[in-house]
Amino acid sequence: MLSGQIPIEISQLSHLLSLDLSYNSDLELKKHSLRCLVQNLTCLQKLDLSGVNISSMVPNILTNLSSLKSFSLVDCGLHEKFSVGIFKLSKLRFLFVRENNGLTGYLPGFTWSNQLEKLDLSFTSFSGELLAYMGNLRFLVELNMRGCNISGPIPSSVGNLTKLTYLDLSFNSFVGNIRPSLGNLPQLFSLDISNNRLIGPNLEVLDLSENYLNGIVEFDEFVKLKHLNTLDIAGNELLLLTKEADANATHQNFVALAFSSCNLSEFPNFLRNQHELDSLEVLDLANNNFNGSLPRCLDSFGAYLSILDLRWNKFQGSIPESWIKEGNLVMINSSQNKFQRAFA
């Protein structure tokens, strides 16, 4: 709850290692400049003035803070050009300047010696392109450039950032193909490249099965992948939601759908249009919350399905004998249900 001006006497603490006055919303630095505050703090390792009303440019003198490891000036009203030299500080690990809309700048040519681990430039006015040098940030764990003015292609060298866990390049002006090298990031758990001008969503097979994924998944999101023919999200802790509009998904010619353990209790609408699913060969609905008789729309599934897994539900009634006599089914797993008889 600090308020008022930051006392300029702090600038005389020449041996200070850490200066953190962050998120004191009524604190400001206006009577004296940011330059005056830090010019003598040559030993500083951490600087965090996030949320402080500074409303100034970023002084070049910050490039002289050779011991700086963490730099955070989030939502400070920074404007004008950000000094490229700050990116090149040899010991810098964390750089956060997000939510400074008037702050301009560009990314430099990084070298292998750069130690950056987390870089957040989101909602600033950084522009230009991501150069191949981005691949030299071998220690980078998080990169957030959401809502900037970055253009050009996403460099394939991004695939060299093998420690990356979080990547957000959304709401920019990236163009060209989605790089296959994005698949080289073994630690990545969050990726957002939406709202750009990228091409190439030609994904045909998506297998996310047997992970620790949780939360709500809308089938409608997969419908947007027009070439998708195989979808497996089984073995997670997901809640799959389907809509009436999902019935329009059947033109995608799905070959295999695996929705076991997706907390389904009602038969998905798009499966009810079975006459348009003549390409479907594998259907896995195991370990859900279905009960009652098998939906009538399944009566003719045996004509083209090869594998049908209904186990660990509460289905009742019987399995249509036509599935065996007239269809292509080679495997039906109906165990752990409440069927009264095998065939009707």
pLDDT tens digit string along 6-40?
999 999 999 999 999 999 989 999 888 899 999 99
Instruction: Check whether 194 has a pLDDT greater than 70.
Output: yes
Which residues have C-beta within 8 Å of that of residue 304, sequence separation ≥ 6? 277, 278, 279, 280, 281, 327, 328
pLDDT of res. 148: 96
* pLDDT per position as a tens digit, 63-83: 999 999 999 999 999 999 999
Across 84-91, average pLDDT: 93
Which residues on neighbouring strands pair with residue 35, listed in sequence order? none
Across 285-296, average pLDDT: 89
pLDDT of res. 342: 64
- Rounded to two decimals, the pTM is 0.70
- Name the pairing type of β-strands 214-218 and 237-241: parallel
pLDDT of res. 244: 62
pLDDT of res. 300: 62
Across 217-237, average pLDDT: 87
Hey, where are the domains in the chain?
Answer: 201-344
More confident: 319 or 100 = 100
Question: How far apart (Å, rounded) are the C-alpha atoms in residues 104 and 145?
Answer: 13
Assess contact for 146 and 192: CB atoms under 8 A.
yes
Could you give the C-alpha distances from 314 to 46, 292, 305, 321, 334, in angstroms and in order? 59, 7, 21, 20, 10
Q: Specify the CATH number of the domain 201-344.
A: 3.80.10.10
- The mean pLDDT of the chain is 88
Write out the two tokens for 317.
């009634």
Question: How far apart (Å, rounded) are the C-alpha atoms in residues 268 and 70?
Answer: 50
pLDDT of res. 270: 74
Write out the two tokens for 106.
């560009």
Could you give the C-alpha distances from 289 to 27, 163, 165, 249, 264, in angstroms and in order? 55, 39, 34, 23, 6
Across 305-318, average pLDDT: 91
Assess contact for 221 and 246: CB atoms under 8 A.
no
Annotate 151-170 with b (16+ C-beta within 10 A) or e (fewer): eeebbebbbbbeebbbbbbb
User: 304: buried, middle or exposed (CB in 10 Å: 19+, 13-18, 0-12)?
Assistant: middle
